[in-house]
C-alpha cells in the first residue's frame, strides 16, 4: 500500500481467530498471502485488488453496522440520485448562451471526460482498498503528505457544505413558489434543514440507496413534466406579444467571455461529481462492479441532459428561458412540475451531508467499536456531526448575500481539482516513469491525462475570474439582498 493509509499488515493474519471466523462466514474468501507470496505477485493485478476488498468486507462480518454492503445496483441508485438532479433544468439557459449546437457538443464531451476520469478514479481505488474518501486520495497523490490530506479535507468539507447550503436555499425557493410566500423565507429554510437532517440519519449508504431511487424517479418526473409543459403551453411565462422565442444554433453576436464561460461552467459543474465516488466505492461489496453503475448513469444522464436542454430551450428561446427552467412555465404548470423535485432537493442535500459526516465520524472513531456498533455514544456523535453540518450550511445560505456567485466561485476552486486535476495525477501515479510511454496507445492516454490536468488548471483560473467578475458586476448593479432576509426567493 502507498504511504499514508492503513498498512496491509494491519489486516488479520491468516491464522488469527478473526481470520478463521471470517473464513467460515465467507467460504469463498481467498487465503491471505504471506509477504513472500505477495512479492511474487504483480502489485497491480485485479486478483489482488479483489482479495483485499474481500478481506475488508470479511472484517465486518460480526459488526452490528456493516458499511461495505452496497451492490452495484444500489450504487447506481446513489449515482442516479446525484446526477438526475435539479441542476439539469439549468441546461436550457446554458444552451441559450452557448447556442444549441455547441451546448450539445460540450455536454457530450464533458460527460465523456467525467466518465473516463471516474474510471481512472475507480481503478486507483482498487489499487488502494483502504481509501474511504477523496481526502485519502489527496494524501496518496501527494506522496502521503499530511498537509495535502488536511488541505483536501478543507476543500472536501467546504464543497459539500456549500452544496448543502444550496439545497437549503432551493428548498425555501420551492416552498415559496408552491405557497405564494405567506411566511418569512428563513422559516422555510429552517423547515428544509430539519427535514434534511432526519433524512441524513441512516448510517450506511446501503440504507440511503433506496431513498436515492425514489429521489431520482421523482426528479425524472419533474424534468419530464417541465419538457412537456414547455411544449404544450400557449406561450412561455412573461411572453410579449409579437416576440416569439428565438432559438440559435450558435452563440448570438456580442456574447461575452464571462457569459459564455458561466454557461460552460454550469454544464461542467453539473456533470462533475467525482468527489463522492471514492465514498461510494468504499461501501460496495464488490467494487469491481462499479463500472456497471457508472455506465448506466452516464448514458442516461447524457440523454436526459440533452433532451431537457434542447427541447425546453426550443420552446422558450433566448428571451424567456430561465434557470431553473421551471420559471419559464405558466404559474400552475410551474408549481405542478416543481413540486416533484421535493425528494431530490431533500435527499441530495442529505447525501452530501452523509458523506461529509462519515468523513468526520470515521476520523473520530477510527479504531473504536462505536464506529460499527449501535451504541449511545456512536449514534449521539453521528447525529451531532450531521446537525453541525446542517447548521453550518444554514448559516452559509443565509449570511452570504451573493450565494449563487459564491457557489460558482467555490466550484471553480474545488471542481477543477476533484473533477480533473486529481484524476490526471492518479493516472500518472498508476503509470510511473517509462510505463507512461509503453506503446502508442499508452502514450496517447498519457497525453490525454496531461491535458486533463491543464484543463483543470484552466477551469481553476478562468472559472475563478468569471465568478469574481460576476460578483463585482452584481454589486455594481445592486442585485444583492441582505443577510437573513425574509424576502421571497420564489421563481
Neighbours of 377 (CB within 10 A): 12
Residue 476 has a pLDDT of 80
Is 60 within 8 Å of 66 (Cβ atoms)? Answer: yes
Q: What is the mean pLDDT of the chain?
A: 88
Joined grid coordinates for residue 204: 450506511
Handedness of CA 173, 178, 179, 180 (dihedral sign): positive
For 477, list phi and psi in degrees, rounded to 5. -90, 0
Q: In terms of C-beta density within 10 A (0-12 exposed, 13-18 middle, 19 or more buried), how is residue 433 classed?
A: exposed
Quick check: helix, strand or coil at residue 30? coil
- Integer-rounded Cα radius of gyration of the chain: 24
Residue 49 has a pLDDT of 59
> What is the pTM (predicted TM-score) of this model?
0.87
Neighbours of 108 (CB within 10 A): 12
Question: Which pLDDT tens digit goes with each residue over 391-430?
Answer: 999 999 998 877 677 778 888 889 999 999 999 999 999 9
Q: What is the mean pLDDT of residues 102-120?
A: 97
Cα 85–90–94 angle (5° rounding)? Answer: 135
Joined grid coordinates for residue 213: 431511487
Question: Which pLDDT tens digit goes with each residue over 341-387?
Answer: 999 999 999 999 999 999 999 999 988 999 999 999 999 999 999 99
Joined grid coordinates for residue 254: 456580442
| pLDDT band at 4; cut points 50, 70, 90 | very low
Q: How far is CA 43 from CA 138, 142, 273, 359, in A?
A: 21, 20, 29, 28
Residue 470 has a pLDDT of 85
Any idea of the CA torsion for 225, 231, 233, 239, to the nearest 10 degrees? 120
Residue 408 has a pLDDT of 83
Is 219 within 8 Å of 85 (Cβ atoms)? Answer: yes
Is the omega angle on the peptide bond into residue 454 within 30 degrees of 0, that is, cis? no
Cross-strand bridge partners of residue 284: 70
- Residue 317 pLDDT exceeds 60: yes
Grid cell 419533474 in the structure block, residue: 222
Whether domain 68-477 has CATH 3.40.50.360: the reply is no
Neighbours of 273 (CB within 10 A): 20
Handedness of CA 308, 310, 313, 318 (dihedral sign): positive
CB hemisphere CA count around 77 (13 angstroms) = 20
Distance CA 383, CA 270 (A): 29
DSSP per residue, 220-267: HHHHHHHHHHHHHSSS-TT--TT------SSPPTT--HHHHHHHHHHH
Neighbours of 269 (CB within 10 A): 22
CA 47, chain centre distance (Å) = 29
Is 194 within 8 Å of 55 (Cβ atoms)? Answer: no
Any idea of the CA torsion for 401, 404, 405, 408, to the nearest 10 degrees? 150
CA 443, chain centre distance (Å) = 30
For 284, list phi and psi in degrees, rounded to 5. -90, 145
Number of H helices, E strands in the chain: 19, 0
Least confident of 50-54, 118-122, 251-255, 325-329: 50-54
Is 171 within 8 Å of 367 (Cβ atoms)? Answer: no
99: left (phi over 0), alpha (psi -120 to 50) or beta: left
Residue 14 has a pLDDT of 34
In terms of pLDDT, which residue wins out, 276 or 402?
276
Grid cell 448593479 in the structure block, residue: 477
Alpha helices in 144-184 (DSSP H): 146-179
Residue 475 has a pLDDT of 78
Distance CA 420, CA 27 (A): 40
Is 56 within 8 Å of 6 (Cβ atoms)? Answer: no
- Residue 231 pLDDT exceeds 60: yes
| pLDDT band at 160; cut points 50, 70, 90 | very high
- Residue 204 pLDDT exceeds 50: yes
- Residue 45 pLDDT exceeds 70: no
| pLDDT band at 24; cut points 50, 70, 90 | very low
DSSP per residue, 50-99: HHHHHHHHHTTTT-SS--S-B-HHHHHHHHHHHHSSGGGGGHHHHHHHH-
How far from each other are the two terminal CA atoms of the chain, in whole angstroms?
51
Distance CA 387, CA 48 (A): 40
Neighbours of 429 (CB within 10 A): 17
Grid cell 434557470 in the structure block, residue: 323
| pLDDT band at 29; cut points 50, 70, 90 | very low
Joined grid coordinates for residue 55: 478481506
Residue 51 has a pLDDT of 58
Amino acid at each position: 500500500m502507498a504511504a499514508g493509509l492503513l498498512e496491509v499488515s494491519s489486516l488479520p493474519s491468516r491464522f488469527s481467530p478473526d481470520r478463521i471466523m471470517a473464513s467460515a462466514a465467507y467460504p469463498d474468501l481467498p487465503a491471505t498471502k504471506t509477504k513472500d507470496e505477495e512479492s511474487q505477485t504483480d502489485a497491480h493485478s485485479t486478483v489482488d485488488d479483489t482479495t483485499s476488498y474481500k478481506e475488508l468486507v470479511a472484517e465486518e462480518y460480526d459488526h452490528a453496522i456493516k458499511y461495505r454492503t452496497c451492490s452495484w445496483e444500489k450504487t447506481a441508485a446513489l449515482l442516479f440520485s446525484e446526477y438526475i438532479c435539479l441542476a439539469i433544468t439549468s441546461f436550457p439557459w446554458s444552451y441559450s448562451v452557448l447556442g444549441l449546437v455547441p451546448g450539445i457538443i460540450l455536454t457530450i464531451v464533458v460527460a465523456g471526460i467525467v466518465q473516463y476520469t471516474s474510471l481512472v478514479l475507480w481503478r486507483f481505488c482498487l489499487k488502494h482498498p483502504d481509501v474511504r474518501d477523496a481526502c485519502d486520495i489527496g494524501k496518496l497523490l501527494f506522496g502521503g503528505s499530511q498537509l495535502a490530506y488536511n488541505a483536501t479535507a478543507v476543500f472536501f468539507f467546504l464543497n459539500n457544505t456549500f452544496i448543502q447550503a444550496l439545497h437549503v436555499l432551493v428548498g425555501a425557493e420551492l416552498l415559496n413558489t408552491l405557497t405564494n410566500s405567506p411566511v418569512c423565507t428563513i422559516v422555510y429554510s429552517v423547515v428544509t434543514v430539519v427535514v434534511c437532517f432526519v433524512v441524513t440519519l441512516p448510517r450506511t449508504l446501503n440504507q440511503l440507496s433506496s431513498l436515492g431511487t425514489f429521489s431520482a424517479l421523482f426528479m425524472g418526473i419533474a424534468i419530464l413534466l417541465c419538457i412537456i409543459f414547455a411544449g404544450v403551453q400557449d406561450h412561455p411565462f412573461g411572453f410579449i406579444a409579437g416576440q416569439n422565442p428565438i432559438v440559435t444554433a450558435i452563440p448570438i453576436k456580442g456574447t461575452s467571455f464571462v457569459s459564455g464561460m458561466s454557461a460552460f461552467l454550469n454544464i461542467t459543474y453539473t456533470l462533475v461529481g467525482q468527489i463522492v465516488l471514492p465514498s461510494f466505492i468504499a461501501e460496495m461489496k464488490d467494487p469491481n462492479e462499479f463500472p456497471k453503475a457508472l455506465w448506466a448513469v452516464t448514458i442516461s444522464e447524457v440523454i436526459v441532459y440533452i433532451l431537457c436542454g434542447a427541447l425546453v430551450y426550443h420552446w422558450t428561446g433566448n428571451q424567456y428561458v430561465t434557470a431553473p427552467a421551471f420559471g419559464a412555465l405558466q404559474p400552475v404548470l410551474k408549481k405542478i412540475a416543481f413540486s416533484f423535485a421535493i425528494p431530490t432537493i431533500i435527499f441530495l442535500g442529505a447525501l452530501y451531508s452523509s458523506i461529509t459526516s462519515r468523513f468526520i465520524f470515521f476520523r473520530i472513531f477510527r479504531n473504536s467499536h462505536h464506529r460499527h456498533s449501535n451504541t449511545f455514544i456512536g449514534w449521539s456523535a453521528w447525529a451531532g456531526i450531521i446537525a453541525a453540518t446542517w447548521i453550518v450550511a444554514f448559516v452559509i445560505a443565509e449570511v452570504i448575500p451573493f450565494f449563487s456567485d459564491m457557489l460558482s466561485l467555490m466550484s471553480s476552486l474545488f471542481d477543477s481539482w476533484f473533477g480533473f486535476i486529481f484524476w490526471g495525477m492518479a493516472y500518472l501515479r498508476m503509470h510511473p516513469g517509462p510505463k507512461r510511454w509503453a506503446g502508442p496507445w499508452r502514450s496517447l492516454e498519457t497525453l490525454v491525462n496531461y491535458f486533463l490536468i491543464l484543463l483543470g488548471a484552466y477551469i481553476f483560473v478562468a472559472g475563478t475570474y468569471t465568478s469574481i467578475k460576476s460578483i463585482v458586476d452584481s454589486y455594481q448593479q445592486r442585485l444583492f439582498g441582505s443577510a437573513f432576509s425574509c424576502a421571497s426567493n420564489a421563481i
